[in-house]
Structure 1
């Protein structure tokens, strides 16, 4: 394994997230118009297929922490990238809804395994006080992957099979890079090590509220991820190739999500959550109102990208803050909730589009987003609002932090709450 600084690991993790989340998962919506036309699929079928990778993501995420503990971070990351290669390759050769569904399911498994693998590796190579910030940077990698997919649509609007073959090659490079850069981490707990502090009732309560908000946001965002390009083509009569500008805007604006999430984490999370959720709902309404105006559609994509990535980053950092020292649970639960929300929202928006049309379907989802935003004062605050890097851990937490980690068979220095210069 090649050693990396915290910054280097954050950037490398963002690259792997770009492949697994950006290309293997969210790029699918960009290619819905040509795929639906060539395979002759209805919006309802597309909605169901769009939910499949989210379901497989959830199932993979449930076993991912156990896999990372048993197989190590490196093997889990390689396994994740391998599923990405297989899924993207199958999509590129899809001949109907069944083969397309198999491909997107494999891509969902890829995304479910990747973040826990990177989280396990992060515990070994990144100082604990930087975990939240590094996780937020890695999360922004989704925007990079989405932006990478754009040129294939802008210049090869009808060549979606070639595009997915290109993604397959990038995923294969990710397999090699994961093997070379990700440490093979296995945690060894001494017999006299104190267990992690039990989760209090207050923590459970706030984690439950976080999960509900994450689910609702995922539900509302499903409409944009799955059907936004198809809406502009079907309702706005825009050329299929021009929909690439939407995803480019989502990718560029989404990079700012890491900054917004970090600022919200240190200031007022409930207010930021309300603002970003209103922006997300507004992006759906704007797109439905002006699907034939390319500039307005691109602007809606900018708003959506910033809002979505800010919210997912905020959920990630809130989970870490609510359950410090439990990286296999704190940041995982809100991600699962977002995926479950998208899995539930995808077929629902498909049915609404079939019954009422794109405009009314998107308007209904935007209204749901506004209603959830009004409940943002209930968004959970941290148990102790002081950032953990400013407080020296004591008692059980200090004992738990002094656990032994083994990287490639060699022990490394225990992780503490002190910030070291990189």
Structure 2
């Protein structure tokens, strides 16, 4: 990387904050808020359970296409990729809000999902190109917490008195405003020479990401059902979703932790806390306190683990972090896509409590990183 501007580096916090804002819109609203409004969508479009699943699959498909596109776009124009992500989020949300039928609604879901696939590699690449090594680690992990911010901001929107289409139109306006703010404030990277170097150690990163996806999928998909089954009210479950988002902001501390104790140690400690959060939902009756603690542990560790993956990717690809981030998030998506139906099938046989117990045990498989061949690099130019 050449020519990083000192003035731009001094404003690393602004780049991280705006990046977090775009990520919040693309993930918290464009990708994940769909699940909060499924009952209303079902009433409007007459959706069956299968239809709900198909629409959710369209979001995942859009996300995957966005990730694949980011392999090219993020390294060519990181700033442009972030702006494209924001524009797709606004367009997708707006199309969903105005949809006269389920086909148009599905097209909006694809666009909205694509925004999430583009945004993380774009933000990671932009920070890698514009923020010096002194602040880069913190900038990457704080920007990544935008997902938690978006989850917290969207948590209570289903309780609003407005119709869902009005709420979705508001989401679209917010996404458009955030995109304009990003266009006006995000720095333009300096020209840099392309450096192509052989990369070793990508497989352990992808395996770690698949593990994150596989262990988080039961929580994203079934935690509300599990909490309701233990006697908690829907309002309490909403508070737990909000807690996931707020606690996710703590994931930004992962960068400082990695600087202090090393990436592998920070990763292993975070994985252990994640296992504890999953195990709490395996208890017969965790109650509201246990549910809130579980939500806090899940939100903070999920954001921390994905943030640490970004740092891991930046060490493998110091000049092109978007490439490593893309492969990491592909692994994350594969893990989630495979684990969700498996968890559902297992739940019908052994129950959700046992599913969460198994997920906690699987999370402890991360301790295999004590083997140096499976561990993240100890250091690297990328942070």
Report TM bin, short chain. 0.7 to 0.9
Query: 1:233-244, aligned counterparts within 5 Å?
Result: 233=228, 235-244=229-238
Counterpart in 2 of 1:174? 178
Quick check: 1:280 aligned with 2:274? yes
Match among 205, 218, 227 for residue 232 of structure 1: 227
Distance 1:266 1:181 in 2: 31
Which range moved further: 241-250 or 26-35? 26-35
TM-score when normalising by structure 1: 0.76
Show CA shifts across 1:303-346 (max 9, x none). 10111111111111111123322223233321221122122223
2:330 counterpart residue number: 336
Q: Distance in 2 between matches of 1:109 and 1:283?
A: 30
Distance of 1:284 and 1:95 partners within structure 2: 40
Shift of 1:298: 1.6
Query: Is contact 1:265–1:318 with CA below 8 Å preserved after alignment?
Result: no
Q: What secondary structure does 2:324 align onto?
A: coil
In the alignment, which residue of structure 1 is the partner of 2:295? Answer: 301
Deviations 1:40-68 (A, max 9, x none): 543x7655644543343232122224224
1:208 to 198, 203, 206: 203
How far the C-alpha of 1:362 sits from its partner, in A, is: 3.2
Counterpart Cα distance in 1 of 2:39 and 2:282: 16
Deviates more, 1:172-181 or 1:249-258: 172-181
Cα shift readout 1:86-114 (whole Å, capped 9, x = no counterpart): 33234446798766654433222001112
User: If the length of structure 2 is used for normalisation, what is the TM-score?
Assistant: 0.83
Q: 2:305 is matched with which residue? A: 311
Aligned residue number for residue 419 of structure 1: none
Where do 1:11-410 residues align within 5 Å? 11-32=17-38, 41-42=48-49, 46=52, 49-70=55-76, 72-92=77-97, 101-153=106-158, 155-156=159-160, 160-183=164-187, 187=191, 189=193, 196=195, 198-199=197-198, 203-204=199-200, 206-233=201-228, 235-289=229-283, 293-354=287-348, 356-370=350-364, 372-378=365-371, 379-382=374-377, 385-386=378-379, 388=381
Q: Which moved more, 1:323-332 or 1:91-100?
A: 91-100
Q: Count the aligned residue pairs.
A: 373
Distance 1:288 1:281 in 2: 11
- Change in Cα spacing, 1:103 to 1:353, as seen in structure 2 (3 Å) is farther
Deviation string 1:270-307 (CA, Å, 9 cap, x unpaired) is 34333322332332332243568333222210010111
Q: Is the 8 A contact 1:231 1:358 kept in 2?
A: yes
Distance 1:345 1:55, change over 3 A: farther
Inter-partner Cα distance in structure 2 for 1:121 and 1:316: 13
**Rg larger in 1 or in 2?**
1
Cα distance change of structure 1 residues 33 and 287 upon mapping to structure 2, 3 Å threshold: farther
CA distance in 2, matches of 1:363, 1:94: 41
157-166 or 138-147, which deviates more: 157-166
Gaps of 5+ in 1: 190-194, 391-422
Which blocks of at least 5 consecutive residues in structure 2 are unaligned? 1-6
Contact 2:251 2:300 in 1 (8 A): yes
Instruction: Tell me if the contact between 2:137 and 2:255 (Cα under 8 Å) persists in the aligned partners.
Output: no
| Distance (whole Å) between structure 2 residues aligned to residue 165 and residue 146 of structure 1 | 17
